[in-house]
Amino acid sequence: MFHEDLVIRRARDGDLPEMARIHFAAYPGIPLTLEDRIAHFRDDPRLPLEGNWVCERNGQLVALFALYDFQMYRFGLRFPTGGIGRVAVAPEARRERIANRLMAKAVEIMDQNGVPLSILHPFRHGFYRKLGWGLVEQVRFYRIPPQALPLFQERSAVRPAITSGELEDVMACYHKVAVAYNGMLVRDEPVWFEHVFKNRLVYYYRGDDTGDVEGYIIYRYNPHAADTEFLASDLIVSEMIWLNERALKGLLGFLSSQHDQIGSVDYYDHFNLPMEQLLNEPIMSGGHRSMILGAETAWIGSGLMGRIVQLRKVLTQGKFGEGRGKVTLKVKDELQPGNAGQLTVEFDDGGVELNDRRVAELTMSTDIATFSSIYWGALSLRDARYLGMVEIEGKGRDASFLDTVFSFPKSVCLDYF
């Protein structure tokens, strides 16, 4: 009823004041003036101005979103990935399904540009789930008193990264981990210097024998109230990467050694390291104890959401587990007709063949959000069946190969946008 007069198009210079106004009303918590926001739209190293899309109604700007051209590592390859951010609808235009329309347009643009995957940080999961994005991560938040960490002697090989050579070694260390994991993003130099390193301290672990940077930590301080505890701070880890055991020990030992200044270390763990095994008391700062919970060690969050935009491409470029058999996928996707309908897939111990015409005796029905969660390794097929999110039919057929072919390693993404 509202949409006949909507135009969604790329942003241009003349839109900047209105974009800043809409952004200011949508993200008041970001400490930027209107002028700062304009400068940010113009100079963001991750996105040129025309990577932003605006929505006009009767010639008036009412909404915007950003579509980042990310490259995501999966199976050691780079997959073009559309990162959606800055979704903002002007206060006078809300609850008219404009954000909904923006996301439909985003999927259309990504499809036209051959971008098979999309990721975003949701304001509300239900909104994006209906549009086909599923949960793709699990993040644990630890608030660790530094004295709970062992003072590993490997910390003696941890040094501040100061020179550009040292920072380049840190970037190379990220790259080594990123190619080995599913989900991490390719970063270029401006992203490192204007986002990742900006206003942060960087320390790295260098192996004596190899001379290589084998791990690093990037963090900032959050000082306590100056009038009561002027020397104390919390330490907020924004990124910690390690290639091996000694590097991890070095970094944790370094954090432990900050004991006299630091109240607690805040760490968002995307790798799901069983930190409780290591802490000398598995309780977070301010955490509670109870009979059933034991000690409150961490909080669990759901992290990013991800969406498959081009199912066929993803199926032919994926690495599937061992297993042989044929299944007809019936995937519901209201925004992307190319994903919806029936598709028969034949798995042959890692190899895949697609067939649009033949129907297999086994069928697997689900929606694209659930299939995306499975593909990112955040949901096993078995759990999805228990939860009623996937239905498998085919009397008398052995469906056990599906559990192995659709078994993907967990994904990790350390970027925020």
Q: Which residues of the chain form contacts with ligand COA (CB under 6 A)?
A: 26, 87-89, 94-100, 122-123, 126-127, 130
Give least dist CB 296 to ligand COA, A: 29
Nearer Cβ to ligand COA (153/302):
302
The dihedral region occupied by 58, where left means phi > 0, alpha psi between -120 and 50, and beta the remainder, is left
Our CB check for ligand COA shows the closer of 66 and 248 to be: 66
Nearest distance from residue 358's CB to ligand COA, in Å? 36
DSSP 56-123: EETTEEEEEEEEEEEEEEETTEEEEEEEEEEEEE-GGG-SSSHHHHHHHHHHHHHHHTT--EEEE--S
What stretches of 113-223 show up as alpha helix (H) in DSSP? 125-130, 164-180, 189-191
Q: Which is nearer to ligand COA, 40 or 97 (CB)?
A: 97
Structure tokens at 152: 């590993």
Give me 389's structure tokens. Answer: 């999110």
User: 98 near 62, Cβ under 8 Å?
Assistant: yes
Q: Which two tokens stand for residue 12?
A: 């241009």
Residue with smallest beta-carbon separation from ligand COA: 99
Q: How far apart are CA 39 and CA 359, in angstroms?
A: 54
Residue 382's Cα: distance from chain center in Å? 23
Q: Which is nearer to ligand COA, 126 or 165 (CB)?
A: 126
Closest to ligand COA by CB, 65 vs 203, is 65
Shortest distance, position 127 Cβ to ligand COA, whole Å: 4
39 burial type by CB count under 10 A (0-12 exposed, 13-18 middle, 19+ buried): middle
For the CB of residue 363, give the shortest distance to ligand COA in the complex, in Å. Answer: 28
Please work out, in degrees rounded to the nearest 5, the angle formed at the alpha carbon of residue 129 by the alpha carbons of 405 and 239: 75
Contacts of 108 (CB under 8 A, 6+ apart): 335
- As measured in angstroms, the least distance from the Cβ of 196 to ligand COA is 21
Instruction: Output the six-digit token pair for 323.
Output: 């297993």
Tell me whether residue 2 or residue 141 sits nearer to ligand COA (CB atom).
Answer: 2
* Beta strand pairing call for 158-160 and 289-290: unpaired
Task: Indicate the residue among 96 and 108 with the shorter CB distance to ligand COA.
Answer: 96
**Residue number, 64 or 157, with CB nearest to ligand COA:** 64
The distance of closest approach from Cβ of residue 4 to ligand COA in the complex, given in angstroms and rounded to an integer, is 15
Query: Could you give the CA distance from residue 129 to residue 124 in angstroms, rounded to a whole number?
Result: 9
The β-bridge partners of 205 are 158, 215
Q: C-beta of 5: minimal distance to ligand COA in Å?
A: 15
Q: Counting beta carbons within 10 angstroms of the beta carbon of residue 31, is it exposed (0 to 12), middle (13 to 18) or buried (19 or more)?
A: exposed
Considering the complex, state which of residue 95 and residue 357 has its C-beta at the smaller distance from ligand COA.
95
Shortest Å, Cβ 28 to ligand COA: 9
Smallest gap from residue 336 Cβ to ligand COA (A):
17
Q: CB of residue 235 vs ligand COA: minimum separation in angstroms?
A: 28
As a whole number of Å, the CA-based R_g of the chain is: 24
Strand ordering across the sheet containing 233-242: 158-160, 201-206, 213-223, 233-242, 262-269, 139-144, 298-301
Nearer to ligand COA by Cβ, of 95 and 288: the residue is 95
